Amino acid sequence: MLIIKDLKVSIEGKIILKGISLEIKAGEIHAIMGPNGSGKSTLAAVLAGRDFAEVTEGTITYMGKNLFDMSPEERSKEGIFLGFQYPIEIPGVSMVNFLKTALNEHRKHDGLEPLSASDFLKIMREKKELVEIDSKLANRSVNEGFSGGEKKKNEIFQMSILEPRLAILDETDSGLDIDALRIVANGVNKLKKPDNSTIVITHYQRLLDYIVPDVVHVLYDGRIVKTAGKELAMELEKKGYDWIKQEVYQNGIA
């Protein structure tokens, strides 16, 4: 589904990603872990098409197409969803209006008729239950006045409506208490289908207790320095990131 080859990215002249390659197949869950400043969020931004990150080298192929030829909204309509680390507030724009506009853009792209208000509200009700979001949230303006936890839940709610092929969750667990974490993770698990894929970007292992990855990558200083199964996450939780750093220095990669 997604093939990244030797991706190099800089922001304002500073090299952030120094050559990343990875492949995500349909149905897989990949976790990308790493200490702060290792380039995790930059990778998410590049995948979503944020233009402050400049790709200097490498390719990304998504569903057989060159991802760099697609605008951010095309990527969305082709099934890429980014769960934001810091969801944005849009005052005065109701969640209903926002999501209906978004979903109808997706439907137009897929050659479907736009949904009527009542059909859309029906979908919203179903999904609200699925992701256990407070029904009042859906009546408010986009993220306006939401608590940190509400914002993250709202990201999962939006994901449930747009049903992405590839979901990228950027530090969705940060700032969540254990109950909110469970709700968010349950939402992600319920939305999981055999042929869609998820990238979970996280600093901590605890989210991975709930969302069990097929593959864990460790990103450090702009490179993937280790790739293994889910047990790698446990090891990181126990030992922290220092041993990875040491290993990197010993092997002379960095």
Partner 1 sequence: MEKDQDKIINDVTTGEYKYGFHSDIEMEQLPRGLNEGIIRAISTKKNEPSWLLEFRLKSFRYWQAMKMPAWANLTIPEINYQDIIYYAAPKQKVGYTSLDDIDPELKKTFDKLGIPLEEQKHLSGVAVDAVMDSVSVKTTFKETLAESGIIFCSFSDAVREYPDLVKRYMGTVVPYTDNFFASLNSAVFSDGSFCYIPKGVRCPMELSTYFRINAANTGQFERTLLVADEESYVSYLEGCTAPMRDENQLHAAIVEIIAENNAEVKYSTVQNWYPGDKNGKGGVFNFVTKRGMCRGENSKISWTQIETGSAITWKYPSCILRGDNSTGEFYSVAVTNNHQQADTGTKMIHIGKNTKSTIVSKGISAGHGQNSYRGLVKVLKNATGARNFSQCDSLLLGDKCGAHTFPYIEVDNQSAIVEHEATTSKIGEDQIFYCNQRGISTEDAIGLIVNGYAREVINKLPMEFAVEAQKLLQISLEGSVG
Distance CA 185, CA 37 (A): 24
Considering only 20-28, 33-41, 93-101, 241-249, which stretch makes contact with partner 1 by CB under 8 A?
93-101
**Residue 198 forms beta bridges with which residues?**
29, 167
List the Cα angle 27/200/71 in 5-degree steps: 80
Residue number, 93 or 115, with CB nearest to partner 1: 93
Restricted to residues 158-197, the positions that interact with partner 1 (CB under 8 A) are: 158, 162
Residue number, 85 or 197, with CB nearest to partner 1: 85
Considering only 50-58, 115-123, 195-203, 205-213, which stretch makes contact with partner 1 by CB under 8 A?
50-58
Considering only 100-108, 187-195, 231-239, 243-251, which stretch makes contact with partner 1 by CB under 8 A?
100-108
When binding is defined by CB under 8 A, the residue of 21, 56, 66, 101 that contacts partner 1 is: 101
Cβ-based neighbours of 185, under 8 Å, separated by 6 or more = 207, 210, 211
Identity of residue 135: S
Place of tokens 């922290």: 240
> Contact, 123 vs 161, CB < 8 A?
yes
Distance CA 71, CA 31 (A): 25
Q: Does 10 bind partner 1 (CB under 8 A)?
A: no
Q: Concatenated DSSP letters for 121-134?
A: HHHHHHHHHHTT--
> Contact, 30 vs 213, CB < 8 A?
yes
Q: Does 210 bind partner 1 (CB under 8 A)?
A: no
Q: Does 157 bind partner 1 (CB under 8 A)?
A: no
Considering only 23-31, 55-63, 96-104, 211-219, which stretch makes contact with partner 1 by CB under 8 A?
96-104
When binding is defined by CB under 8 A, the residue of 13, 14, 52, 145 that contacts partner 1 is: 52
Terminal CA-to-CA distance of the chain, rounded, Å?
Answer: 29
Q: Does 140 bind partner 1 (CB under 8 A)?
A: no
Q: Binding residues for partner 1, how many (CB under 8 A)?
A: 35
Residues that bind partner 1 (CB under 8 A): 48-52, 71-73, 75-77, 81-82, 84, 87-94, 97-99, 101-103, 105-106, 109, 141-142, 158, 162
